[in-house]
Structure 1
Amino acid sequence: MFLTGFAALAVMPLLPVAARDLDGVVLYPLVAGAFVAASLLGGVLGGTWADRAGARRPLTAGVVLTVVTLLVSATSTTIWQLALGRFADGIAAGLVAVSVNVAIGESYPDHVRARALALMSACWIVPSLAGPPLAGLVAAWWSWRAVFFGLAGLTLLPAAAAVLLLRGQAPQAGAAQGTKEPETPVRRPALPAALAVSAAAALTQYGVSAWDVRHVVCTVSGLALLVLFAPRLLPPHTVRAERGLPATVLLRALTSGAYFTLEAFVPLMLSTARRVPGVVTGLAFTGAALAWAGASWLQGRLQDRVPRHQLVAVGAGVMAAAVALAVLCVLPAVPAATAVSSMVLAAVGMGLATPSLTLLSLTHAPAGGQGYASSAMQTSQNLGQTVVLALSSALFSAVSTATTGQLAPFVWAFALLVLPVAGTVCLAARTRMTSPDQQRAPEPAATTSHHAEPVDET
């Protein structure tokens, strides 16, 4: 997980450099969005595979594919090869993310899972501090390709070790689950639907990058495909926030969409409208990573003191305060550096809400369906990020064309985020366990010391 975080935080700042070097700046939005779009497909594949064969096989496939795709990206001679590498890397990330959740569900009783998730969040602290500057130095002194080659080499040995730790561990259907939800059937997502949703996400992210006929057609087509096919990848009645797993999956989409959209627009505002030094923007990402890890550690210590659904509501409330602070920072009289605190505050909310939603999803998963639940959560997170970011970007572009001011578009983009966080606060109670004794699952007869958790940072 340490290397996963390092790779995620090191690669993203290099993509604009690689796109320029490959004469493909025009297609940069497609390259940047390919990872998230493909992780939708990878999550569906990983969830179905994990329920059938346990966590080890999809995890093996995911880590091997990760190394291969890093090499594909490193040897890119065209922008299309780089986009292909990022798309394949997204599939690998989806496989790994779902497999790791299933591994935790198979290996740990409920009262230990929270601390395992907190430990995995802590693995992002050092990468957040060292990843971007080290990658920048390597790219400046040598080449951006060297970063991809180096990450492939570093990932190979620990990835093999993680796979070996799960060797011989068979899937334990429901062994570590607390709640069985017979009213939530395990409806396996169809592969064509997953492919359609991945294509729709890529179209949407490319389409909102500009306002012309071609981009509008791509945006409308992508959103139409999402509306048509996305419900087939989620539990029944997710849109209606039915109690249990459907509501948990929906809230993952709302919180992730709000956070990652805020994370996209605050640095943009700092670098363009407020003209702050780049080091300030870097501090925003570092502070957010530290805040997320700290809040995740805290929720692990509150396991037996505060119900999980209440932690979700509190986390969403903190995010609402962060959104309000971001809107306030648009005012010229407010110091620009104050916007950094909005990202940090939002990360605190996510550190409380995200692990809690992950644990609730494992608890609400039907018997033998932890892979299904993890896949639904991964898919929901990526869908939420795609849709909320697309809506905010479209609103931002529309206001930008209607006004000459630089700050007004940010006000509307931030204000839109009030809707998903307020919805999370209102719907958090629908994710609660039906009785207190379901907060703790019976400990399996045999447990392992394997630690793994996907922390989806884009």
Structure 2
Amino acid sequence: MFLTGFAALAVMPLLPVAARDLDGVGLYPLVAGAFVAASLLGGVLGGTWADRGGARRPLTAGVILTVATLLVSATSTTVWQLVLGRFTDGIAAGLVAVSVNAAIGQSYPERLRARALSLMSACWIVPSLTGPPLAGFVAASWSWRAVFFGVAGLTLIPAAAAVLLLRGRAAQPGATQEPGGPHAPGRRPALPAAVAVSVAAALTQYGVSTWNAWHAVCASVGVVVLMTFTPRLLPPHTWRAGGGLPATVLLRALTSGAFFTLEAFVPLMLSTARHVPGVVTGFAFTGAALAWAGASWMQGRLQNRVARHRLVAIGAGIMAAAVAVAALCTIPAVPPAAAVSSMAMAAFGMGLATPSLTLLSLAHTSADRQGYASGAMQTSQNLGQTLVLAVASALFTALSSASTNRLPAFAGAFALLILPIAGAACLAGRTRVTDAGPHDAPELPVAAAEGQLR
């Protein structure tokens, strides 16, 4: 997980450089969005695989595929090869993320899950501090390809460990799950639906990158396909926030979509509208990573003191305050440093809400369907990020075209984020576990990573 975080935080800042070097700047939205879109497919594959035979094999496949896809990106001769590399890397990331959550749910007793997931969260602290500057130094001294090759070489270590240590072991999915636990409703998702949703997500992100007839067609087709096939990947009644797992999955989409959209627009505002040095933007990402890890550690200490659904509501409230601070920063008189603090505040809220939602999803799921639940959460996270970012980007583009001053456009995008955050706060009670006490376990700030497009 340490190397997964390092790879995610080191590679992402270099993608614009790689796209420019390959004469593919116009396709950069597709380069950036391919990873998140493919994570949808990887999450479904990993969840189904983990339910059928345990989490070991999808975890092994994920780390091996990560090495291969980094090599594909490193040797890119065209921007389309880079897109292919990022797409397959997203599949690998989805496999790893879902396998980790499913493995902890299947293999660890409940009293140890907090420690296991807390360790996963801690693995992101050092990469957040060292990954971007080290990658920038290597790219400046050699090339962006050297970063991909270097990360691939480092990832060989966990890949070899997975092959040597996990091969041949008997699969025991859900071995430590207590009998009589609540069962997750719904059928297992079909692979064709997962493929359709992944392609549609990438098409939607590409379509909202600019305004013209072709991009409008791409965005429209992507949205239609998403609306058609997404319900097949999520528990029934998810869009109605049905009590239990459906509401938990929906809140994962709302919180993740709001956070990662804020994380995309605040640095853009700082660099283009407030004209701050690049080091200030770097502090924003570092502060957000540390705040997320700190909140994750804190909520792990609140076991049996605060119910999980209440932590979700508190985290959403903190995120709402962060969005308000970001919106205030569109006023020229407000110091740009306040926008940096907004990212840290939002990350702190996510550090409370995200691990709580993960544990709630496990509490609402039987032992033989924890892979399905982890896959649904991963799918929901990436869909929320794709859709909220797409809507905010469309609004931002429309407002920007109406004025030469971009600050009102940023204000509109930030105001839009209040809707999913308010929805998460209001619906948190529907994730309540009625037949068990609060569950605790901090989780890695992935999405990011993964999945999260950062």
TM-score, scaled relative to structure 2: 0.95
Percent of counterpart pairs with the same letter?
Answer: 76
- CA distance in 1 between counterparts of 2:232 and 2:70 reads 31
Shift of 1:332: 0.7
Whole-angstrom distance in 2 between the partners of 1:280 and 1:438: 39
- Change over 3 Å in CA distance of 1:351–1:179 after alignment to 2: farther
TM-aligned CA distance change 1:374 to 1:333, over 3 Å? same
Q: Which amino acid aligns with 1:296?
A: S
Provide, for residues 376-408 of structure 1, a one-character-per-residue CA deviation record: whole Å limited to 9, x for no partner: 000000000000000000000111112232200
| 1:288 aligned partner | 288
Structure 1 CA distance, aligned partners of 2:312 and 2:230?
24
Q: TM-score, normalised by structure 1?
A: 0.95
CA distance in 2 between partners of 1:342 and 1:119 (Å):
26
Other-structure match for 2:405: 405
Alpha-carbon deviations, 1:268-311, whole Å to 9, x = none? 00000000000000000000000000000011111221111111
| Partner residue, 1:361 | 361
1:99 matched residue in structure 2:
99
Residue type of the alignment partner of 1:199:
V
Measured in 1, the distance between the counterparts of 2:266 and 2:440 equals 39
What do residues 234-259 of structure 1 show as CA deviations (whole Å, max 9, x unaligned)? Answer: 00000000011000000000000000
Please name the residue that 1:417 is paired with.
417
1:6-44 C-alpha deviation (Å, 9 max, x unpaired)? 000000111111111111111111111000010100111
Comparing 344-353 with 432-441, which one deviates more in the overlay?
432-441
Q: 1:372, 1:66 → 2: CA distance?
A: 22
- Would you say the 8 A contact 2:37–2:382 is kept in 1? yes
Equivalent positions of 1:34-433 (< 5 A) are 34-162=34-162, 164-167=164-167, 168=169, 170-173=171-174, 175-176=176-177, 180-182=181-183, 184-433=184-433
2-side partners of 1:315 and 1:440: how far apart?
15
Contact in 1 for aligned 2:105/2:174 (Cα 8 Å): no
Structure 1 gaps, min length 5: 442-450
Secondary structure class of the residue paired with 2:117: helix
Alpha-carbon separation, structure 2, partners of 1:440 and 1:211: 45
Shift in CA distance, 222/118, structure 1 to aligned 2, threshold 3 Å: same
Q: 1:100 to 1:25 in 2, by over 3 A?
A: same
- Give me the whole-angstrom Cα distance separating, in 2, the residues matched to 1:141 and 1:148: 14
Task: Give CA deviations for 1:408-456 in whole Å, capped at 9, x if unaligned.
Answer: 0001100000011111110101111113457599xxxxxxxxx996822
In 1, the alpha carbon distance for the partners of 2:158 and 2:329 equals 42
> 1:164: Cα distance to partner?
4.5
8 Å Cα contact 1:254-1:424 kept in structure 2: yes
1:53 and 1:241 map into 2 onto residues whose CA distance is 30
Q: CA deviation at 1:96?
A: 0.6
Q: Which residue of 2 aligns with 1:456?
A: 447
Q: Secondary structure at the match of 2:368?
A: coil
In structure 2, the residue matched to 1:446 is none
SS of 2:174's equivalent in the other structure is coil
1:339–1:77 CA distance, 2 compared to 1 (3 A): same
CA change 1:178–1:296 in 2 (3 A) is: farther
CA distance in 1, matches of 2:203, 2:209: 10
Query: What is the CA-CA distance between 1:117 and the residue it aligns to?
Result: 1.7
Instruction: Report the Cα distance in structure 2 between the residues aligned to 1:376 and 1:245, rounded to whole angstroms.
Output: 9
Are residues 402 and 369 of structure 1, via their aligned partners in 2, closer, same or farther at CA, if it must alter by over 3 Å? same
Residue 445 of structure 1: aligned partner: none
Q: Say which is worse superposed, 362-371 or 62-71, in terms of deviation.
A: 362-371
Contact between 2:253 and 2:385, CA under 8 Å: does it hold in 1? yes
How far apart, CA to CA, are the structure 1 residues paired with 2:400 and 2:179? 50
List per-residue Cα deviations over 1:164-203 (Å, max 9, x = no partner): 5545252233633587334x43411111111110011001
Distance, in Å, in 1 between the alignment partners of 2:440 and 2:10 is 38
In the alignment, the residues of structure 1 paired with residue 242 and residue 228 of structure 2 have an alpha-carbon distance, to the nearest angstrom, of 20
Query: Once the 2 structures are TM-superposed, how far is the Cα of residue 118 of structure 1 from its aligned partner?
Result: 2.2
Aligned residue for 1:369, secondary structure, equals helix
Provide closer, same or farther for how the CA distance between residues 452 and 54 of structure 1 changes in structure 2, counting only shifts above 3 A. farther
Go from structure 1 to structure 2 and tell me whether the alpha carbon gap of 1:242 and 1:143 turns closer, same or farther (over 3 Å shift).
same
Give, as a single letter, the amino acid of the residue that structure 2 aligns with 1:171.
Answer: Q
Verify the 8 A CA contact 1:114 1:359 in the aligned structure 2: no
Taking structure 1 as reference, are residues 437 and 265 closer, same or farther at Cα in structure 2, changes over 3 Å only? Answer: closer
User: Which sits farther off after the overlay, 28-37 or 395-404?
Assistant: 395-404
Tell me if the contact between 1:186 and 1:372 (Cα under 8 Å) persists in the aligned partners: no
Q: 1:178, 1:438 within 8 Å by CA — same for their partners in 2?
A: no
